Amino acid sequence: MSVSQIEQRIEEINASGRPPVVFVHGLWLLPSSWDRWAAVFEEAGYAPLTPGWPDDPDTVEEANAHPEVFAGKSVGQVAGHFAELIGRLARRPAVIGHSFGGLITQILAGRGLSAVSVAIDPAPFRGVLPLPISSLRSARPVLGNPANYHRAVPLTFEQFRYAFANAVGEEEARDLYRTYAVPAPGEPLFQAAVANLNPWSETRVDSRNPERGPLLLISGEKDHTVPWALTNAAYKKQRRNEAAVTEIVEIPGRGHALTIDSGWREVADTALAFVRRFH
């Protein structure tokens, strides 16, 4: 969405009186990855907003033709971008994020900006300690070269297959790659990799803020990129929040592509059921 389209959409949401829901995508995807989710939530009576990260192209084709536009985006910059957009909504929204979008979702919740939050296979925040081998392998295309810190990095199909589409068949994996995969900034992965060595890391989450609101963490059972160990470690820190509900659920048989693959509706319905309880 262009800046003018986002502004118009925010005006429409505020005028509608419907409870807003903001969707936050992660690395190697665009806002279009949420299109089917937005339709489900709109049908359920919500007003969806699917903004991109700063400078996101509108289409996968444009993104792959101009990968340089993704470079140089940090976790703090993206979190600030979404915080600014949320600040223009008349009501605190539900926020739903996937992967690094799930980390951004928890950062926003920790600032008291969301009414209810769902973090799906979320990238780890500072203090989440496990380092699963599969996560390191998934991040190797970026972290394997320090110069990628300032670059936009695409995934080959084989890398996408391992990191995202390991739980689906070959034909579906190739279709997901063609339909959704785009380059991603390297900086957020480097930030997450050294977060526990940096007390000022932009990946910090205020999990104890009494204004955090209800939070659901969703984990795909077969996720290589953010396996159960990481999501559960985040849950154990988040559940220390005594003022708000914190829950976790594992979706059987699903990988990191669980928000976009053929089983996306099960995940969307799980998120919708949680949001409906509080928003």
Give the separation between CA 152 and CA 236, rounded to whole angstroms. 33
What's residue 130's pLDDT?
77
SS3 56: coil
- Nearest alpha-carbon partner for 49 in 17, 79, 19, 80: 19
What's residue 66's pLDDT?
94
SS3 content of the chain, % helix, strand, coil (to 5): 45, 10, 40
Any idea what DSSP says for residue 209?
-
What's residue 197's pLDDT?
82
What's residue 181's pLDDT?
98
What's residue 133's pLDDT?
84
What's residue 69's pLDDT?
95
The amino acid present at 69, given as its one-letter code, is V
Give the separation between CA 84 and CA 96, rounded to whole angstroms. 16
- From first to last of the 279 residues of the chain, give the pLDDT tens digit: 777 889 999 999 999 999 999 999 999 999 999 999 999 999 999 999 999 999 999 999 999 999 999 999 999 999 999 999 999 999 999 999 999 999 999 999 999 999 999 999 999 999 998 778 889 889 989 999 999 999 999 999 999 999 999 999 999 999 999 999 999 999 999 999 888 888 889 999 999 999 999 999 999 999 999 999 999 999 999 999 999 999 999 999 999 999 999 999 999 999 999 999 999
Burial grade of 137 (CB within 10 A; 0-12, 13-18, 19 or more): middle
What's residue 3's pLDDT?
76
SS3 101: helix
What's residue 156's pLDDT?
97
- Cβ proximity of 155 and 225 under 8 Å: no
Q: Which residues contact 271 (CB under 8 A, 6 or more apart)?
A: 37, 96, 118, 120, 216, 218
- Cβ proximity of 223 and 119 under 8 Å: no
What's residue 200's pLDDT?
85
What's residue 199's pLDDT?
83
